[in-house]
Structure 1
Amino acid sequence: MQPDENKPQQHYHHGNVKESLIDVAVKLIDSNEVELLSLRSLAKEVGITPSAVYNHFPNKDALMLEIKIRLYDEFNKFFESRCNRTNDPEQDLLEVCIVYYYFSQDYPSRFQFLFSYIFPMEWSNPELVELSCRTLVRTRKLILEIYDKYNVPVSDEKVVNTSLLVWAQLHGLVALKKSGSIKAAVAFQGWPEACSLVNHEQAEGLIRNHLRMTVNAILNTLQGEGHR
């Protein structure tokens, strides 16, 4: 008989207790039960004494840091399994943005945790910084390739600002969709039904439009330089 994978394990070797605690924490996040996250509750689920948890995490913030590292690693694997490089940086950037959107839809609780639980700067470590910035670094690289594609001279500052603008628009879209504000505006403020974002096709269309405007802005920069 196969063991029930959903049933909490009660006996662990010392080497896997830390990972087991993180496993249980992620399950609570996936179940929208972040408020139940505590070292004591996790110890109970794993089957160890509360004091034993402190062999692995000195406090709750240390636990949360390790959870973020785990989830950012899985976040990046989600991208890597779905984003295929082509010879067109515009298409690649569109794919990155759409995959970001679908992660937020497929794993809403993880998405919320990653971008809402904020640590003081001194809690960051090289591993967390690398994992959390990997997709933004990819975006910056693609933005630079788009400028190069159209032979538009650009400074590092401009590339970063354009990357942040793309990311902010995308994250804002996800947040507004989740909040229900757009549906409310359609229902009570007379916004067009086509703007309701009630399905993925509408969201993908809006993402495409935003990126098209970004590319047009890059081309307008080139035209502006030509008229000086």
Structure 2
Amino acid sequence: MSAAVPADPEPQPSTTTGQYHHGNLKVALLQAAVELIRETSVEKLSLRALARKVGVSQTAPYRHFKDKNHLLVEIAKDTFAEMVMVTTKELKPQQTPPQNVCNCGRAYLQYAIDNPERYKLVFGPSIENRENYPDLMEAGMSSFAVLMNLVEQGIDSGDFLDHCPKLLANACWTSMHGFASLAIDGFYQRQELPVDFATLMEGQVQLSMRAIQRQPSWV
């Protein structure tokens, strides 16, 4: 009887780069992929370049990702999860729905500005056939659900317009998404602003929320 063939061990780091030493290789690959996108572009990202950056064999990334598109999907899923975490962390049970929409909005915009590569990836055209990745679609809906829940609370409390909650949430999100995208692309850096950027961002958060209020007010 022939001896059983042992499973392949986790790829070992290359002795030339030595960037990956211990721990979860998949996490290291995802982190390095975001760095490569920041350093070059998502178009120039490849699994081979990723392997070189982490310091593993060229075949190692294929143990975790079928192809580049699968890698981008995994980054996007992680990004949506992070967005849920940073926004929900700012919600205060003792505050009103309008106040919490603003809390959520501030955290959302700050995350987008601090993580432009991730933000552009999740909403841009780089990922192909998104509908073929139900986990990604669910992650995106979970992120949007944070705002949806707040809008539903505001409708019930009488703070927000008595209208379709999804339409109200989409109107609010679209306004903040537009601001985030312009900020990431450097639009405001090229403009002569009437106020400093922090004040501009706060105004955007407040006005996005006021658009769906029954009796608009600054909170």
The TM-score range, normalised by the shorter chain, is 0.7 to 0.9
| 1:52-106 superposed Cα distances (whole Å, 9 cap, x missing partner) | 3322222111111111122222222222333333341111111111111111222
Q: Distance in 1 between matches of 2:50 and 2:168?
A: 42
Contact 1:76 1:131 survives alignment (8 Å)? no
Q: 1:172 aligns with which of 178, 183, 201?
A: 178
1:26–1:179 Cα change, 3 Å? closer
Structure 1 unaligned regions, length at least 5: 1-6, 188-192, 219-228
Q: Counterpart of 2:167 in structure 1: which amino acid? A: N
Structure 2 unaligned regions, length at least 5: 1-16
TM-score normalised to structure 1 length: 0.73
Contact 1:8 1:46 survives alignment (8 Å)? yes
Q: Residues 13-24 of structure 1: matches in 2 within 5 Å?
A: 16-24=24-32
How many equivalent residue pairs?
200
Q: Percent of aligned pairs with the same residue?
A: 25
Q: Residues 147-226 of structure 1: matches in 2 within 5 Å?
A: 147-150=155-158, 154=162, 158-181=164-187, 193-194=193-194, 198-216=196-214
Say which is worse superposed, 165-174 or 206-215, in terms of deviation: 206-215
Q: Are 1:81 and 2:79 counterparts?
A: no
1:40–1:93 Cα change, 3 Å? same
The structure with the greater share of residues assigned to helix is 1
TM-score normalised to structure 2 length: 0.76
SS at 2:93's partner residue?
coil
Contact 2:161 2:212 survives alignment (8 Å)? no
2:19 maps to what in 1? Answer: 9
CA apart distance, 1:214: 1.8
1:72 maps to what in 2? Answer: 80
1:132–1:151 Cα change, 3 Å? closer
Q: 2:140 aligns with which of 132, 145, 159?
A: 132
Q: Are 1:142 and 2:140 counterparts?
A: no
1:94 maps to what in 2? Answer: 102
